[in-house]
Amino acid sequence: MRALCIASILALLIMTGCGDTTASRSLSGSAMGAAAGGLIGSMSGSFGTGAAIGAGVGLVGGYLDDQYKKGNIDF
């Protein structure tokens, strides 16, 4: 079960930021983050909290990915 969880999270992280616009990348990151967070949260006893945290992290990740692809930030 743990390996499946880790594989799912990695797949979601790889796909974070899919889209062509800032909004689509941010929203797809948010949706994937919510799914991953919900999965992690359900294993620790709080699906809702995990999904909310994951959605926030995914939203920020999708936005940062968009800005990086546009050349506005450099890591």
Q: Write out pLDDT tens, residues 22-59.
A: 888 888 888 888 888 888 888 778 888 888 888 888 88
Per-residue tokens: 58: 């995914």
Residue 56 lies in a domain: yes
Structural domains counted in the chain:
1
CB 33 within 8 A of CB 58: yes
- Residue whose tokens read 């799912």: 8
Query: How many Cβ atoms from other residues are within 10 Å of residue 15's Cβ?
Result: 12
Cα gap 28→19, rounded to integer Å: 7
CA angle 63/67/73 to nearest 5° reads 125
Residue 38 lies in a domain: yes
pTM over 0.85: no
Q: Which domain holds residue 47?
A: 21-69
Q: Is the pLDDT of residue 3 over 80?
A: no
